[in-house]
Amino acid sequence: MSGQGTVAVSVQAEQVLRTVPHGALGINDTVWDAHVGDEEVIDLLREAGVGLRALNGGPLGDLYHWRHNTRGPDEHIDSTLGEQFQPVPGSGFEPFAEAARRGGVEMLVHVNYGTGTPGEAADWVRYANVAQGQKVKYWVIGEEIFRNGYYADRPDRYVRQPDHHMDKSPSGYATNAEAFITAMKAVDPDIKIGVPFLVPGDITVPPDREDWNTVLLTKLAPLIDFVDLRWYPLSGDKLPDAEVLGQARLIPAAARAVREQLDGVAAGRSAPVEVVIGASNSAGVQFAEQQIGVVNALYLADNALGWLEHGAAFFAWWATHNGGMTAFSEPGNFGDLGILATGEQWESAAEPPLNTPFAPYFGLLLAGKLARPGAELLACGAGSGDVSVHAARSTDGAVLVLLANNTTEERTVELTYSGHDPADDVSIDTYTGGSAVIRAEGPGSATKQVLAPHSLTLLTVPGRGH
């Protein structure tokens, strides 16, 4: 703090962290979403700067058969999810790929490892990239296979990932995954293939069990192009808002631990193994109204930009549409892990009309305004955890600064810049809780701002002479 209630923010425009690649911000599309190709959806995602869409079935992904858009049986899934989240007419690969083509974005697809075969996966590559010319770039062998029951420390509230192989160990997965990779790259050697990977420490490995990451890197490092991480630091019970909004501070250590493991197998590779955040949200289960409110908008922007700053090839949020639930919410309310409403109704609550943006959409939109392809992410910092800050230099030379007030009270920030001489005509975009729009203002100050409680404020700061 530089004074009572004032937070000092510094932007070091001369320190470039990296250039934002195409497809840096992504979104997951579920295999039960029949509205992936709605024109309204494509427009909303384009406006938010989404450059990659991922077809992901979550726990259904390893039961999913792409050719007929169906899922096979699984005793555990059938008993926990029942008839929820089923592939439906209008969902599946064809509508997904067509929506991605119309939106001009990259694609990622998870193939069915749990109950599928290398031949089925290779046929999918052949159909998508050879027969249809869809140019699907990223492919992942299975979903969260490390949750297949091999490790017994996961709480009952987790949905176990289907895996019908007799050998559910990391060695078993690695052996089978090699057959998938060989078959798929024989069809299209230019695709990038990844495997599910863990943030070190996410699962406690008993002494008599193999370590997932170690085994996969030992056996598959020469064959894979990227590792697919999940970032759900709060996959348990609902937590206080302040704790949710503190999770981005875990990213530097997590990214460093993953990179150290990957660098240990870098010898002999022509390129490093990339890190992707293939799915993220503030919680993976027990979703409640916290996930559709302003807190999750702040969480999305802070965590997406944090991972991009620390080297992730892309960060993909879960999800465009998910579907809601009332079980973990206050009476009359609901939760939903999607950024757009499905229009569902229950006895006690109802979602807004289909494709209405929830608050996290606006967090994605402001993050996307800052992290456009070609922009340079810049070093920056805040003198208090009450405020999160991210900065970038756009391709036209302006510096963009995204400020998040993580508290329930106003915060005044005083900004200083090095390597950039700020002009006076600063434009300001603000999102606050309960709002259905981004509020645009300006001209404003480049050096002092009063941030509303639980808000996101994006400053676009031209340089003098630009």
**Which pLDDT belongs to residue 334?**
87
Q: Nearest-CA neighbor of 92 among 115, 77, 110?
A: 110
Report the C-alpha gap between 26 and 396 in whole angstroms. 24
pLDDT(156) > 90: no
| Alpha-helix runs per DSSP H in 73-204 | 75-81, 93-103, 118-125, 170-187
Q: Which of 327-331, 337-341, 445-449, 458-462 has the lowest mean pLDDT?
A: 327-331
Report the C-alpha gap between 374 and 360 in whole angstroms. 24
**Which pLDDT belongs to residue 2?**
42
Please state, for a pLDDT cut of 90, what percent of the chain lies above it: 80
pLDDT(153) > 70: no
Report the C-alpha gap between 59 and 2 in whole angstroms. 48
DSSP state of 3: B
**Which pLDDT belongs to residue 392?**
98
What mean pLDDT do residues 339-364 have?
Answer: 95
pLDDT(140) > 70: yes
User: What domains can be seen in the chain, in order of their start residue?
Assistant: 6-14+375-461 (2.60.40.1180), 21-370 (3.20.20.80)
- On whether the CB atoms of residues 454 and 408 are closer than 8 A, the answer is yes
pTM higher than 0.85 for the full model? yes
Report the C-alpha gap between 282 and 241 in whole angstroms. 10
Burial class (CB in 10 A: 0-12, 13-18, 19+), 260: exposed
What mean pLDDT do residues 299-304 have?
Answer: 98
Predicted confidence (pLDDT) per residue in 232-290, tens digit: 876 555 678 998 999 999 999 999 999 999 999 877 788 999 999 999 999 876 667 88
**Which pLDDT belongs to residue 235?**
56
Predicted confidence (pLDDT) per residue in 183-196, tens digit: 999 999 999 999 99
Predicted confidence (pLDDT) per residue in 410-444, tens digit: 999 999 999 999 998 999 999 998 888 899 988 99
Predicted confidence (pLDDT) per residue in 58-117, tens digit: 989 999 999 999 999 888 787 777 666 789 999 999 999 999 999 999 999 999 999 999
DSSP state of 350: B
- On whether the CB atoms of residues 207 and 253 are closer than 8 A, the answer is no
